[in-house]
Structures are given as C-alpha cells and as structure tokens.
Amino acid sequence: MLKAKLSKGPLRVAGAMSGTSLDGVDVAVLDTDGVSIFGFGDSRYLAYDADQQAVLAAALGQWTGEAVEAATKVVQRAHGAALAGFGACDLIGFHGQTLAHEPRGRGTLQVGDGAALAETLGVPVVWDFRSADVQLGGEGAPLAPFYHFACAKWIGATAPVVFLNLGGVGNLTWVDPSKSGPEEAGALLAFDTGPANAPINDLMQERLGQPYDKDGAVALSGEVETGALELFLAEAYFARMPPKSLDRNDFSEMIDLVRELSDGDAAATLTAMCAAGVAQGMQHCPRAPSRVLVTGGGRNNPVLMQMLRVSLDCDVVAIEEVGLDGDMLEAQAFAYLAARVARGMPTSGPSTTGVMARVGGGILSSPTS
C-alpha cells in the first residue's frame, strides 16, 4: 500500500532543513508529484537555543567523536519536535545538519538518522541526500536547483532567472524556464558563490554578542576596506569554473582580514565580500538573467541588498515579490527532492553539482509499523 501511494499522483511532503547559519529548523509542507508544484501547506520554524547552537558550532568541521555525537542528538531531537504535528503527510524530506563538507576529500557529513525519525513519527523519511552525488564525483551541493526549476515554472517565468540563496553560504541557480525539465541540457547552472551570512554572524557574535547584523545596522555605520576586499577576491575559489561548492568554514580567514577594523568597518567589509562573491559568480551565467530572486536570511539585510543592486546589471528583489517564501524555500526544496527520490527520479546532475551523470540521491526509510 505504501509503495503504491508513493508511486503516483500528488504527495503531501514535509521538508525539514537546518542550514549553515545554525539558527534553527525550518519545516514546510509542499504538495508535489516531484515534477510540478501543486500547492503549499503549513510551515514552522523552531529556533535552536544558545546551548544547542554551541553544541552544533563545536562540531563544525569534525567527522567523528563526542562533539559529532552530541550534535547528532541535538539535531535528532530538534527535528522530531519541529516535525511533530505534520504526521498527516505522506512523506518527509530530512536534510539533517551539515557538519563537514569536503567533496574532493573526505566526502560530506549531514548528521541525523532518518530511519529513527521515521520510527518516531510513523511516516516514511527520505534522508542522506548528498552522499551518493559525492561518491559519484559530484560536489554534493547545491541541491535546491531542481526545485528552483519547478519554482520558475510555478511563477510563470519565460526568460532566464537566478535564484540566489544567501544563508550561511551563498549559492545561485541560473534557470532557463523554456526547457522542459531540470534534467535537460542547458536548463540549469548552479554553484556556491562564496560566504554569505556565516562570517557576518560570527563577527557579530564575537564582538557584540549578537546573532546577526539586524537590518545591516552595524555595516551601515562603517565603510568598506577595499584592500581586504581585494585580498578576498584573489582567492583561488573565484577562478574555478562551476559547478563548485563550499564548506561553511572554507573562508574562516575572512575574520582575520577584518580583525583590526572597527565593528562598523568590519561588518561593512564582510557584507561587501558576500556581494562581491555573487557578482563574480554571475559572470558564469550562460545568459544574463531577467532578474535575481533573493532567498534566505540575506534578503533581510538592506545594506547587502543595496550592494547587490549596485553591482548587478538586472533587477534584484526578495523572492516574496513573486509569491514565494524566502524563509521556507530550502525546506520546501527537500520536500520536493524527497518526492523525486521516492519515485526514482534524479535530484542532481552535471550542471548543478558537477557529477558525471544524473543522480538520484537519498535513502528512503519507512516505519516498521
């Protein structure tokens, strides 16, 4: 019965995402058949408290050990709590929490046990979305582009459009909505643009005891140190052709570049680095997009948004302007990908992660009773 239910027709899927900013768990319900979007359901955000954030931060960059075990417990409990009440869904997409990401090295690590979650909630769970892609030579990230293609169709886009996600790390997806599907050659190009909110948040926490630069107020009070910005843009990552991806801490030395600056100048410079990384990345787009739709926490920073508008040659708007939810897009993406995994459809390809062929990542775990 379960196999038949998951094999055809629209599904009601809850997607759960905990991102590199370590702020909390997003849950969003999507009605989809893994191809089209039919509607949006309830959503929920459950913030990590300071102790939980400290546990997760202590495990970043680690692959094994007590810190990873402690982080796994935090992730498991938080997601169980966040997903409680979404049991009417047919399926859950569970991303887990990325602690380490070295696609050309040790692989990728997202902690959280989807099989245990399926037992707890009594709902089939798709999880471990990235490992198969990395094992087959891909970057394992970003994984939202196939969903971005569906979103471009849903909003009725007729010309190329860019979805720009500014979370802890920035990533963009260039979409050609004239193509029939995300797997088609030329439909997508996706990659990480560089650090986004993570270094700004780290600076705010270190210096001011604040989780982030609310409304860009600290950055607005300072000036950009152009020397530090030039050193940042000289990093080899920006010369690499996409697809390409980053770990949250790959640019941790950014803090050192602004160490001697005032709070305002340091925040302004880190914000400018995020915008400059996006501008560099836009040069890789096959054709200029009609507009850039910004999602993730960065869209709420007016200083960052203004820097993007100045540096890009197209409209830059928050994704809400086209009727989508910028806080929940990533969670919705993993709901969408879960439907694709359940139906044996690809979730990434050469133009999104650099993998040699289309890959359907993810493990489907069903409750035993």
Q: What is the set of domains in the chain, with CATH numbers?
A: 2-142+328-365 (3.30.420.40), 156-322 (3.30.420.40)
- Give the model's confidence band at 5: pLDDT under 50 very low, under 70 low, under 90 confident, else very high: low
- Give the model's confidence band at 118: pLDDT under 50 very low, under 70 low, under 90 confident, else very high: very high
State the Cα–Cα distance between residues 180 and 41, nearest whole angstrom: 26
What's the mean pLDDT when you consider all of the chain?
94
Q: List CB contacts of 13: < 8 A, sequence separation 6 or more.
A: 29, 30, 31, 32, 89, 90, 91, 92, 93, 335, 336, 338, 339
Helix (H) or strand (E) run with residue 345 in it: none
* In contact, 29 and 338? CB cutoff 8 Å: no
**Torsion over CA of 287, 288, 292 and 298, rounded to 10 degrees?**
90
Strand partners, 127: 94, 363
Q: Report pLDDT for 1.
A: 39
Helix (H) or strand (E) run with residue 77 in it: helix 66-83
For residue 3, pLDDT beyond 80: no
Comparing 100-109, 309-318, 320-329, the range with the smallest average pLDDT is: 100-109
173 to 136, 226, 243, 282, 325: CA distances (angstroms): 21, 28, 10, 10, 17
Instruction: Report the candidate in 291, 292, 296, 289 with the shortest Cα–Cα distance to residue 332.
Output: 296
Residue 147 Cα to chain centre, angstroms: 12
State the Cα–Cα distance between residues 75 and 242, nearest whole angstrom: 31
Q: List CB contacts of 321: < 8 A, sequence separation 6 or more.
A: 293
- Give the model's confidence band at 8: pLDDT under 50 very low, under 70 low, under 90 confident, else very high: confident
For range 237-266, the mean pLDDT: 90
For residue 4, pLDDT beyond 70: no
Report CA torsion sign: 113, 335, 278, 294.
negative
> Which two tokens mark 21?
């900013």
For range 196-218, the mean pLDDT: 94
- Of residues 254 and 365, more confidently modeled: 365
What share of the chain in percent tops pLDDT 90? 88
* In contact, 140 and 108? CB cutoff 8 Å: yes
For residue 82, pLDDT beyond 90: yes
Tracing tokens 């197209």 back to the chain, one arrives at: 314
| Count of other CB atoms within 10 angstroms of residue 173 | 26
- Give the model's confidence band at 232: pLDDT under 50 very low, under 70 low, under 90 confident, else very high: very high
Report CA torsion sign: 230, 233, 234, 235.
positive
